[in-house]
Structures are given as structure tokens and as C-alpha cells.
Chain A
Amino acid sequence: MTDADWQAGGFGLYVHWPFCAAKCPYCDFNSHVTAHVDHGRWARALVSELRRNAARTPDRVLNTVFFGGGTPSLMDPSTVDAILLEARSLWPAANDMEVTLEANPTSVEAGKFRAFRDAGVNRVSMGVQALNDADLRRLGRLHSAEEAMAAFDVARNIFDRVSFDLIYARQGQTLVDWQAELRRALALAVDHLSLYQLTIEPGTAFGDRHARGGLRDLPDDDIAADMYDATQEICESHGMPAYEVSNHAAPGAESRHNLIYWRYGDYVGIGPGAHGRITGPHGRLATETHRMPGQWLAQSEAGNGDSLTEPLSLADQAAEYLMMSLRLSEGTDRARLKRLGLEPEATTLQHLSGLGLLRVTETSLSATMAGRRVLNAVLRDLLAG
């Protein structure tokens, strides 16, 4: 018997904690601000969802767990502990299982880091976002740059692996500003960085402001492109090449959980609005849970938090595999893509490689640096056939 497709990517668990202390104006994730959370009730619901999902994903080794949000560093460490304990009892865990938790870099949360480590978290990803206070305020962040650095130091001492996020192409930011800020970030003892271009998403506070003609001093596409190029160059010279469109790591320090998404493995998603990809006896399923925390809680307690369980056609799987894997510098396995029924036309491949956007070998397709910058257009061409 040949291996199922997902096995090329591995198997992970995503846990969504939907609550935040405040909503950031750029964020379009499923996050909510609420005065009171019944932590015990949430822990029990998450654990029951875990069991329900384990029943449909037997015979898997759990490679990674990721607590995302929202702000999972607001979770009670006992909740994290209960979930990890249950997960380890439901699936055999890999020896080097990666357990990541997203954290806001405030002193309050830093105070909980030791408890998170004791529960089993071995990697934190910190939402630093900017290294100067004026920009942090404009991004709606509740911490100062100094506080973030202090929290980072605490994390560095407690966890094996620490990553942080920065957002660039911010209002009023120049290329030179960004280059300097990025060099400061790289000077910290960090082996993983997520560097995102600020994206104005509809339905966010920034989206509304932008639609009304606000946020005028955002860098234009050409400057954003220059910033992207500079980012690649600077990170590479610091030994932190991009292994994905917006993610940089020292070799070996990549986020193994996120690699499961990009290598199109299987993942179980629990918590409000979490998505999953699960291979069952009849093929691959896309799963989604109820987005609103109250509804999710009630449905999960009633036995099923899913709002959607949908079989994915082979063509959908091929499209998803291609668009996820081309984000990675390692690229796409052509044989695997072909097994999913997709073989891009030779003329398209020639055209894209002729433009210097795509590297084509017998066995793989990968976007060049220039190609990653216009990846949506490259994907449109590859999927057009």
C-alpha cells in the first residue's frame, strides 16, 4: 500500500484561543474581547473536541501542537496542561514534538511563561510587531518596545526556541527605516522571524479607515516590493534565509507546525473558527468549527463543534498543495502534484522560468525570490489550465 498523501507533510494539532485583551486594527483573525472567560468550561470543551477529532484520525503520530489566537498567552496554564495531557494520551507523540504558543510580549504574560513551559510548551512565537513605541501605538498594541524586549529576554531564558513577528510597510515607514529596524531585530539572539507586509484586510478597523480614504501614508506597492527585496537580502546575510514567503529561520529552526500546512499534511483544528485537513477512508476532508465563541462552546458541549465537514475534490487538493507548497523555498514535489491530477503545461513552466520567477527541475517546482514576490500571479498562471 502506498502512503496517503498527507504523510508527506506530517500531522499536527492546532488549538484556537479566540480571546484578546484588545482588538488590533489590522487583525482579521477570529478574535474577541470579553470581560470574563470560564476557563474550566473552555478547557473541558476543548478536551472533548480533541477526543472527537482523535476518533477520526487514528494511527497517527502527533508531530506538533500549536496554540494560536486570539491571544493564547491569556490562557490559564492549566488549560494548556489539560489539552497537552489529553493529546498525548490520544495520539502517540513524536519524541521531539514541537509545542508552540503565541504570546503577547507583555510583562503580565511573561510572568506565566514558566508555567507554560512546565505544561509542555517548548517554543513561543511573540507578536512584537514593531520596535518603536509610536508605531506600536498606531498598530493598536498594548505593549511598549522596551516591554517587548524584556518579555523576549524572559522567553529566551525559559524556552528552547523563540520566534517573533514584525510588521513592515507600515504607515509612514521608509525603506531605510525598515532596514534599520530589521537589523536591530536580527541583532537579538533570535533564530526565527516572521516578517509580514502590513495587509489591509476588509472588515478590520484599518480596512474601514482605508475604504474611507484614510491611512494615506502607506508605502505604495513599489516601495513595499523594495522592502521585501531588502528583507530577503538582509536576513540572508544574517544566516536567516526565507524558508517561506514571510518566514525566516536559521537552518533547522523552522516552525515544524507551519511546515505541516505548507507541505500540505493533515491537521486537526479545535477551538472557535479553527480549520482542519483530515484524511479519512474516503479521502480528504476540510473541517471548520463555529466561529463565534459562545456558539462554539455550546455546540462543542453538545458533542460537535464543527460547522462544516466537506470532502475536498482531487482538483481542490492539488490547488491547495500547489499554493501552499510554492510558498516554501523547497517548493512543490511534481510527482506528488501529478498524483493529485495536476500537471502544469510545459509552455507555462517555460514562460515562468523564462521570466525568472520559477525554478523548474525534473522533480520540483520552486518560486525564485522574484517569483515569491508575485506568487499570486504565478499561481494564477499555473492553475489557469
Chain B
Amino acid sequence: MTELSRIRNFSIVAHIDHGKSTLADRLIQLTGTVAERDMQEQLLDSMDIERERGITIKANTVRIEYPAQDGHTYILNLIDTPGHVDFGYEVSRSMRAVEGSLLVVDASQGVEAQTLANVYQAIEADHEIVPVLNKIDLPAADPDRVREQIEDVIGIEAHDAVEISAKTGLGIPEVLEAIVKRLPPPHGGDPDAPLKAMLVDSKYDAYLGVIVIVRIIDGTLKKGDRIRMMKTGGTYDVDDVGIYRPAMTSVKELGPGEIGYLNASIKQVRDTRVGDTITHEKRPCDKALPGFKPSVPVVFCGLFPVDSSEFEDLRTAIEKLALNDASFSYEMETSAALGFGFRCGFLGLLHLEVVRDRIEREYDIELITTAPSVVYHLHMKDGTMRELHNPADMPDLTHVSHIEEPRIKATIMVPDEYLGDVLKLCQERRGIQLDLTYAGTRAMAVYDLPLNEVVFDFYDRLKSVTKGYASFDYQMEGYREDNLQKMQILVNDEPVDALSMMVHRDRAEQRGRAMCEKLKELIPRHMFKIPIQAAIGGRVIARETLSAMRKDVTAKCYGGDATRKRKLLDKQKAGKKKMRQFGKVDIPQEAFISALKMDS
């Protein structure tokens, strides 16, 4: 057990690409925690997709032993938190397990929207914060300006910010000293009191089952202990306790202030609740930690196998992924057009993309992804409220009194030369301006926006109108009534349920027209002409006609062409499999997503 005064628990707060993972790697490397030969980029991000996208999805932890200049060896526990807006809620939970944060800011780019969102969570968690200016070696670095910006925008002292280059290793020893000197040791903590530990996160390991990351508040946790989860009530025998260095390393016990893992033959991640309090069954602590409310999926979409015979494989893949990701929900869905699949709920679009990529890549199942939708609240005339996860399930309007949609509070930071375009974009997406401030040449716009308008391609549009200079973050702000309707798309007079969407009345015609035009480009010509219509209720609000194919025949086909021609037909047959038949019309799978990408 380590003396509390020799422990420092911290996290790193940064905007994506500002160097959080690189800094973590350097801290681990400099303290010799990992042998040089085992060093690989972004040690803490264990999943391929995390590494590839440069994002962290689950919380990871590592213990670093650091011999400080004062002659003592300190235990530094780093919790690496997800950086992306989709996982903002997880960030706030992980922050509760530590006492301080390093705020990493790119010395040339300055404070971004995500920096802000995360640092406010650190402030809310009562963290001591040490500002770190990274990429100081770049010619464009302007540490004085960024220091000023940190003080102006975030409102924390920055004159003693540590200047580093995580890439070259410059300033890393100073960061380690700052952690020891400027961050506080864990509060209180009585090794003899009944066990009180926070469940920080849990993940599924194919060999070991569920691994739980814990932060000990009081008491000690040992192998062989029988523990109880105070919220869920589950009791387990502890098979192993240990720490991450970053490889899993068993220890005899974990004491107050320490962060480590426990393994207790827990079957699935769903059986553990992040924020729950772990105590001993025999000698429980009297009061549980406040706990967290579980994160709720906000974006839903249908996932269907391209090859309908792979439905069972998809079920297996989804169940396996769900083992490790309690924030992802799923239920079986049947679509007239797409056959059997799953309606899945995600924390955001990135989360959706990560799950979809993993299914396609790790399980080799090609997917059709239907239009993402948010959860609407349908207030029925009988006074009840129903959640609508799929526009195709919209009940008869005569029973609906009104519809509410989720809103978000979006914070956008942008160089002021692009501000006009950003404001226009927010306006187009039915945004209401809440705040507009300047810090130097950067503007910060705060908007109340319908999540529906953001979920699909807002971020792409924002990046394109600002040439990538804007940063964006949001939080959920509750529900509000608006004039919303279900728009159906009919292809060759047949409704295509997977293309149904909720739209605001003022935007319906424009969206309907855009959808029909887009589909006209995306659907290949057939042997007959195909009407494409957008309709609300029984009323057609937009229409395009895809004219019939006029010529598709091989001019020369003789004895020497038979093989090649047959193989070509075979290939086209395989290509046809990637399309979905609606009546007699083949719709390519990419149409389901592409049709929704609006150019304006």
C-alpha cells in the first residue's frame, strides 16, 4: 500500500490532435514503465479503431512510478478519457475518479471547443489544473498568445504553463515534476475503514471476462474478497486485483487513493454500472458514492446485412460488441425493404461509425446503414408519451397531440473570417443564437439547435465551410415542441420505409426536393422510367422522374467474347446483390446514406 501523499491521480484534457496520447506515451516512456522495445504509438488506445482514428473510446488507466527531485518515488495514476463529444458523458465520469488534470493546448492552434467542454468538466470535478502548451517546437507556436487565451476564455491561471513538445520529448521531466508539486494527493482515505471503491469503467476481455477499473476511496481490496455492487446488488468473489503498467500486473492489494483493476468472473459489461460503489459483502460501507446516471443513446439507425443470409452473423457480432459497450442499445427490426436487421442506439455519430466499422471489419459483414434518427417524443391525445426511435414507426397522426424533438446547446469556436458562414449554417439548421463572444481573432458562438439537424452532416458541413478551422462541441438540452412531420419517399410508387424521415414543416419541401434529386442521381437507370416522390401524409411535395435506360448492349459478341461476357454478367450479378430491390427497382446501398447528405 502506498502512502497517500505519494500518490497523484490525474487525467489529461485536450482537443483532438492536440497531443494528448503522445504526451501520455512520453510520460510512460520517460519513467521506464514500458521497455523501449515494447513501445508503440498511443499505448493506451488498445482497439485498432481507436488507434486509427486517434480517439479514445473507453477509459484506460496506467500506473507510472516516478522518482521525483525531492528524493521520493511517487505513484502517478493516469486515467485516459475519451476526447470526442459523443463520449462527453464518460469523460465527466472518469474525472470523478481523479483529483487533477493536465490541460494540453496546442501552442499554435490555441483553445478549441472540445478543450473548453472537457476543461469545464474538470473544473466541475474540482480538479487542480496544470496547463501544458504542446508543440512548442513548431514555427507557428505562439505560447504567449495561447497563455492569454487560456486565461481569457477558460479563466484559469496560465503564466506557469509548462511548455513542451510531446513529439520530441522536450519538457516532459517538467511535466512530471509539475504533477507531483502542483496536483494534490488523494483526499482523506482510511485504509482500515470499510471498503468504498468507485467503479470507473469496465471492459470485456475475451479471456478474462469483464475487467473492472476501480478507484479505492477507503479500505483495501484483495484477491479472495467477496464484494457487492451497492447499486446493482451483484455479489462476486474477487479472483485478481492489479494495476496497469500498462500491461495488467497483479498486486497483493489496492489501498486508498489507488487506481487499478479487479477481475471477479463477471459475465458481461451490462452487469456493471459505471459510478457504482463497490464494497465488501461482510463489512459494507454505510454510504454509497453519489453515482452517475447512465448514458442514454441519442442517435438511432438501422443496421442490416447486405447479404440477408448473414443476419445471424450480424446478431452474434452485435451481441459481442454490446458485451463491452453498455451505452450501445439494439433491438431487432424488420423492414419491408431491407429484411431483418437491428435498430441500434448510439451516443452520437462517431459512436455509430465506430460500431459500424467494427462490425464490418472485425466480423466481415457488409452493412446497409439507414438514415440516423433522433428520439422524438410523441405526446398522444390520450395524455401518454411515446418515444419514436424510427420514423417508419410513426403512428396515425390523428392520435398525436404534438411532437417534441431533442435540442442541444452547441459551442462552436471559429476564426472570425468564417463566422458569417457558420452563423448562416446554424440559421439554416433552425438554430437559435444564445451567445456570441470574441477572444482575439476567434469567435465563440453558442447555439440552441435541434439535434435532428446536427446528427447527420452538420459537422461535415461545418468543417467544409470553415476549411476545417472550426471546432464544435455540444450537450443535450432537453426536448421542445416543434412543427414536425414524417416525410415518406416513394420510388416507383412504393414507399421505401428506410428513407422515411422526420422534417420540420418549413424545411419539408426543400428537403423533399433535395432527396428526390439526389436519389435520381444515385439510382441507376432501369429498363423502365421510375417516378421518385417525396410525400407528407398523402400529399406529394416533390417529384423527379428517372428516365428509362435507352441503350445497354454489347456491340460485338463472337466466339472469343463468350467467356469475358459471361464473367462480366457474373460480376454484375454480384453487384446487383449489393442493391436492394424495392418492387422492381434496385437501389444501391450507398443511396440510403448519401441521399440524406444535403449540399446546403
Q: Interface residues, chain A, CB within 8 Å of chain B?
A: 14, 196-199, 221-222, 224-225, 228, 245-246, 258, 260-261, 267, 269, 273-277, 286, 288, 316, 319-320, 323-324, 327, 351-352, 355, 357, 372-381, 383-384
Contact = CB atoms under 8 A, between A and B. Distances in A.
B467 interface: no
29 contacts: A196-B555, A197-B555, A221-B551, A225-B551, A228-B551, A245-B553, A245-B554, A260-B559, A261-B557, A269-B560, A275-B559, A275-B563, A276-B559, A277-B559, A286-B562, A323-B562, A323-B565, A324-B562, A355-B527, A355-B528, A357-B527, A373-B553, A374-B553, A376-B552, A376-B553, A376-B569, A378-B527, A379-B569, A380-B573
Contacts of A14: 559-560
A273 B560 contact: yes
A222 B552 CA distance: 11
Contact of A380 (B558, B563, B572, B584): B572
Contact of B576 (A269, A378, A380): A380
B251 interface: no
A373 B554 contact: no
A140 to B, nearest CB: 17
A225 B550 contact: yes
A271 to B, nearest CB: 11
Contacts of B72: none
A316 B570 CA distance: 10
Given A224-B551, A260-B559, A323-B569, 16 more contacts: A14-B559, A14-B560, A197-B555, A245-B557, A261-B559, A269-B560, A275-B559, A277-B559, A286-B563, A351-B584, A374-B551, A377-B526, A377-B549, A377-B552, A380-B569, A384-B576
B557 A324 contact: yes
A196 B556 contact: yes
Contacts of B563: 275, 286, 288
Q: How large is the interface on B (under 10, 10 to 19, 20 to 34, 35 or more residues)?
A: 20 to 34
A277 B573 contact: no
Given A225-B550, A274-B560, A275-B563, A245 B569 contact: no
B549 A374 contact: yes
B562 A374 contact: no
Interface string B564-588: 0110011011001000000010000
Interface centre among B550, B553, B554 (most CB of A within 10 A): B553
A261 B549 contact: no
A374 B552 contact: yes
B580 to A, nearest CB: 13
Between B526, B527, B549, B552, the greatest number of chain A beta carbons within 10 A of the residue's beta carbon is seen for: B527
Given A199-B556, A379-B569, A221 B550 contact: yes
B378 to A, nearest CB: 39
Interface string B525-565: 01110000000000000000000011111111111101101
B441 to A, nearest CB: 42
A211 to B, nearest CB: 19
A199 B557 CA distance: 12
Nearest to A317: B566
B169 to A, nearest CB: 49
B97 to A, nearest CB: 58
Contacts of B566: 316, 319-320, 323
Contacts of A198: 555
A381 B556 CA distance: 21
Nearest to B557: A327
Contacts of B558: 258, 261
A375 B555 contact: no
A199 B565 CA distance: 15
A369 B494 CA distance: 29
A261 B526 CA distance: 29
A246 to B, nearest CB: 5
Contacts of B569: 319, 323, 376, 379-380, 383
B555 A246 contact: yes
B571 to A, nearest CB: 11
Interface of B: 526-528, 549-560, 562-563, 565-566, 569-570, 572-573, 576, 584
- Chain A interface helix/strand/loop/mixed: helix
Contact of A267 (B556, B559, B576): B559
Contacts of B550: 221-222, 224-225, 373-374
A11 to B, nearest CB: 12
Given A261-B562, A269-B560, A320-B566, A245 B555 contact: yes
Nearest to A275: B560
Contacts of B528: 355
A375 B552 CA distance: 6
A261 B559 CA distance: 5
Contacts of B527: 352, 355, 357, 374, 377-378, 381
Contacts of B557: 245, 261, 323-324, 327
Interface centre among B528, B563, B572, B584 (most CB of A within 10 A): B563
Contacts of A352: 527
Contacts of B552: 373-377
A275 B557 CA distance: 13
A375 B553 contact: yes
Contacts of A378: 527
A379 B573 CA distance: 10
Contacts of A379: 569
A59 B566 CA distance: 29
Contacts of B576: 380, 384
A316 B567 CA distance: 9
**For the complex of A and B, 7 pairs with smallest distance between CB atoms:** A225-B550, A225-B551, A375-B553, A261-B559, A275-B560, A196-B555, A376-B552
Contacts of A384: 573, 576
Contact of A199 (B526, B555, B560, B562): B555
Nearest to A376: B552
Contacts of A274: 560
A112 B124 CA distance: 98
A37 B528 CA distance: 52
A273 B558 CA distance: 13
A282 to B, nearest CB: 19
B309 to A, nearest CB: 16
B554 A376 contact: yes
Nearest to A382: B569
A288 B562 CA distance: 11
A383 B573 contact: yes
Nearest to A373: B551
A352 B528 CA distance: 10
Nearest to B562: A320
Nearest to A228: B551
Nearest to A194: B556
Nearest to B572: A380
Nearest to A371: B527
Nearest to B528: A355
A183 B557 CA distance: 25
Contacts of B554: 199, 245, 375-376
A289 to B, nearest CB: 10
B559 A269 contact: yes
Contacts of A323: 557, 562, 565-566, 569
A357 B549 CA distance: 12
Nearest to B563: A286
A384 B565 CA distance: 15
B386 to A, nearest CB: 39
A274 B562 CA distance: 12
A86 B572 CA distance: 42
Contacts of A273: 560
B529 to A, nearest CB: 10
A30 to B, nearest CB: 8
Nearest to B584: A351
A375 B528 CA distance: 13
A221 B524 CA distance: 14
A327 B572 CA distance: 18
Most buried by A among B556, B562, B569, B570: B562
A277 B204 CA distance: 58
**B563, B566, B572, B584: most-surrounded residue (chain A CB, <10 A):** B566
A291 to B, nearest CB: 11
